Amino acid sequence: MSYRDTYQQWVDEPTLDPELKADLKNMADDETTKEEAFAAPMAFGTAGMRGVLGAGIGRMNIYTVRQATEGLARFMDTLSDETKARGVAISYDSRYMSQEFAYESAGVLGAHGIKSYVFDQLRPTPELSFAVRHLKTYAGIMITASHNPKQYNGYKIYGPDGGQMPPEESDKITKYARSAADLFAIKSLNVHVLRAKKLMQPIGEDVDEAYYAEVATVTINHDLINKVGKNMSLVYSPLHGTGRIPAQMVLRNAGFENFRLVPEQSIADP
């Protein structure tokens, strides 16, 4: 199937998200953009996938996120019932559509009977890795574009140890995702159904506090911090991302009291 055929398939899809319909209309006469969006699916590997937001099999949107999660869910379906029951932890950053993608991921997992533990607000990647180990989930999903510009978003899968999913498992997940070729047929439960069926549980302050306590155990140079921490002047910028609250808590718990945030860069913004 050519990229034009795939594009037309999306145009003809009656259930397509309205915003993506508008995106398709905007690229109708732009063959370069159309080819970039529909010529090939997004690459998926041990580092997950990352790309420009928008319509198409080569873009980040709810359908490509569903497909990636379907791959994880089908892989988990091959594991033991005990392993599958451990569920998946999910976090997200401040990028456009991050929370929506997190909920879509939970929805696809829920359609397979897999429980998700979703942070109640945006949290950084290290805390997601910690949550996987702390909650003993089988996997973790992080919705983040990392350092890329605001037009991007991304999707990463983490293994039981909180690190990136190893190549062998990642290859299997990719294979299962590609087998779900009809993106519009992938089932995703909405948040209300997930909650009613107890297939989605919020992650909140209890995991935050456990994370801060764990970070405190690996802090070095305690004597030096005790000596100069109260008076040392520090400036921290979250760069409009997820670090504002965690960084403040970690610094304060470590003994640094004289620090301030860059106000212009402290509010989460894509």
Chain mean pLDDT for the chain: 94
Mean pLDDT of 103-114: 99
Of the chain, the percentage scoring pLDDT greater than 90 comes to: 77
Contact at 8 Å (CB) between 219 and 100? no
Kindly compute the dihedral angle of the four CA atoms of residues 247, 157, 181, 39, in this order, to the nearest 10 degrees: 60
- pLDDT tens for each residue of 249-270: 998 888 888 888 898 898 888 8
Contact at 8 Å (CB) between 164 and 156? yes
Q: Does the residue 197 lie in any domain?
A: yes
> Which amino acid, 251?
L
What is the separation, in whole angstroms, between the first and last Cα of the chain? 35
- pLDDT tens for each residue of 82-105: 999 999 999 999 999 999 999 999
- pLDDT tens for each residue of 182-223: 999 999 999 999 999 999 999 999 999 999 999 999 988 888
Sign of CA dihedral 176, 74, 120, 134: negative
Q: Are strands 234-236 and 152-158 parallel, antiparallel or unpaired?
A: unpaired
- pLDDT of 188: 98
Do 185 and 229 lie in one domain? The reply is: no
Do 198 and 66 lie in one domain? The reply is: yes
Q: Which domain holds residue 94?
A: 61-204
Q: Does the residue 134 lie in any domain?
A: yes
Number of domains in the chain: 2
Q: Does the residue 36 lie in any domain?
A: no
146 is catalytic: yes
**What would the two tokens of residue 110 be?**
């829920």
Q: Does the residue 194 lie in any domain?
A: yes
Among 2, 146, 170, 179, the active-site one is 146
Beta carbons within 10 angstroms of residue 261's beta carbon: 16
Do 228 and 199 lie in one domain? The reply is: no
- Look up the pTM and report it: 0.94
Do 106 and 146 lie in one domain? The reply is: yes
Do 239 and 199 lie in one domain? The reply is: no
- pLDDT of 97: 97
